[in-house]
Amino acid sequence: MFNGLIVAALAFLPGEVDAPKPATLARTLAFRADVVYRGDGTSIDDGVILVKEGVITQVGSGLEIPEGAAIVDHDGAISAGLIALHSEDGAGAELYDSTRIVLAEAEARHAFAPEHADFDRALAAGITALVLAPSSSSLIGGQSAVVKTSGGRVVKPAAQLALSLSRDALHTNRFPTSYAGAIEELERRFGEPEGPVARAASGSLPVLIDVNDRAETLRAIGFAQRFGLKGALYGSYWAEEIAPQIAGSGLDVICTPFDVGDDSRSARAVVALAKEGVRLGFGLDAPERHPGSLRFGAAACVRAGLETAKARKALTGDAAAIAGVAGRIGRVARGLDADLVLWSGDPVALTSSIQAVYVDGELVHGGSK
């Protein structure tokens, strides 16, 4: 089943921007499901999704199905493909360049192998797109890329400028060794007149700021506010007590990946952020973590009190918005890519299983042709 896919994937250069989609069924594809989660927090019972040439053409209840359409009748739920907002699939150590503290021009889209098995594992977990982000070990690690997990095509090349105010960026054998040194260097770089950093300073390139603890988070917020930066913080574990300050910063938050056995603090932090109205998505950091942990993390938050609709949104529509690709993926809506996951039940219920995954209208995992 995957042979054809791999051939199709290899036909495209890695890192190519907005490459043409693989040949898709010319005829219309019609999905019928008990419930369609649209990715914006709403859902449609007995929903119908019409797809043509890889793009969603219509979504609704009781839609008329065009003659000759191939029908996929699904006894369960359909959601948009899940989006992981911070990961290293197919790239691993290639996203970590220790030779410089500032590598603003480096682009994650050049780092990954599109046919890597990491992507198959992501697809099997319902993840149809992810953000490959440069390592937090550099003050400015480079630019992240939004990549589809089927065929490894790049949806958005320079999605964010990755900054790190975490202690990972403070080395013991090169400048800076201190938080104050890190801030000083970032301030110097953000005065540059052109280049990716200047684009970030002007707000046209969102930032992705890696943080760990509360002090690092507040330091990052202070920096972002001084320079009027737009974007997201990556790291939520310690956010509970400072959720109001985070909300006040206008930055989105990409939640720290969850591990089995995490204490409840990680989930409580996400609940507190949601309560403050912070837009949320989930990080993954595969292959270090299993792609399935993306959905487990969301479920852990629901168990701690996060509304299920918000959890689903954080995995899909809000994640796309944080990555700057809301016009292309993340929702089940007209004009968006037909990246769909067919579930036995609610995506954030751990009892639900994935039965099929479609990317650009193509069946890429599970199901039956």
Partner 1 sequence: MLPLLQLTLAVTTPACAAPLAPYGLGTEPPVKFAVYADVVYTGTGSKYENAMVVLADGKIAAITPGVEAGDGDVHVAAITPGMVDLSAHIWAGGNSVEETEEVTPAFRVAGTLDPFSRDWDRQLKHGVTTVVANPYDNNCIGGLSVALKTGGAPTIEARTVKADVALRGAMGTQPSSKNHPAAGRPTDFYSRRPTTRMGVEWTWRKAMYDALQAEGDEERAFDGLPELLRALDGDLPVFVQAWATQDIRTAIFLKEEMAREGKPGMRLIIDAGAEAWREIDLVVRTKAAVVLPPFTESGRTTDGAFFAADCAAKLHEKGVPLALSSHNARTVGTYLEHQAAYARRGGLEFDAALAAVTINPARMVGIDDRVGSIEVGKDGDLALWNGTPFELTSRVVGVVLEGELIEDPRGE
CA dihedral 121→89→300→346, nearest 10 degrees, is -50
Q: Which residues in this chain contact partner 1 in the complex, by CB under 8 A?
A: 167, 170, 172-181, 183, 213-215, 218-219, 238, 241
Closest to partner 1 by CB, 210 vs 339, is 210
Closest to partner 1 by CB, 27 vs 167, is 167
Closest to partner 1 by CB, 174 vs 334, is 174
Query: CB of 227: closest distance to partner 1 in angstroms?
Result: 16
Query: Given 3-state DSSP classes, what are the helix, strand and coil percentages for the chain, each rounded to the nearest 5?
Result: 30, 25, 45
- Cα separation, 188 vs 316, in Å, equals 36
Kindly write down the DSSP assignment for every residue of 162-181, as one continuous string.
EEE-SGGG--SSSS--SHHH
> What are the helix and strand counts (H, E) for the chain?
10, 17
- Cα separation, 246 vs 269, in Å, equals 11
- Cα separation, 166 vs 193, in Å, equals 26
Query: CB of 189: closest distance to partner 1 in angstroms?
Result: 16
Kindly write down the DSSP assignment for every residue of 228-261, as one continuous string.
T--EEEE--TT-GGGHHHHHHHT-EEEEPPP-TT
Looking at this protein, which amino acid is placed at residue 250? Answer: G
Closest to partner 1 by CB, 226 vs 334, is 226
Closest to partner 1 by CB, 112 vs 238, is 238
> Taking a C-beta distance cutoff of 8 angstroms, is the pair 155, 16 a contact?
no
Query: CB of 215: closest distance to partner 1 in angstroms?
Result: 4
Closest to partner 1 by CB, 176 vs 366, is 176
Query: CB of 178: closest distance to partner 1 in angstroms?
Result: 4
Query: CB of 174: closest distance to partner 1 in angstroms?
Result: 6
Query: CB of 207: closest distance to partner 1 in angstroms?
Result: 20
Query: CB of 12: closest distance to partner 1 in angstroms?
Result: 42
- Cα separation, 331 vs 40, in Å, equals 7
Query: CB of 138: closest distance to partner 1 in angstroms?
Result: 16
Spatial CA neighbour of 304 closest among 259, 342, 266, 359? 266
Closest to partner 1 by CB, 72 vs 272, is 272
Spatial CA neighbour of 135 closest among 108, 116, 105? 108
CA distances from 97 to 92, 93, 105, 112, 139 (A): 11, 8, 12, 14, 11
HSE, side-chain direction, 13 A CA sphere, residue 142: 24
Closest to partner 1 by CB, 170 vs 298, is 170
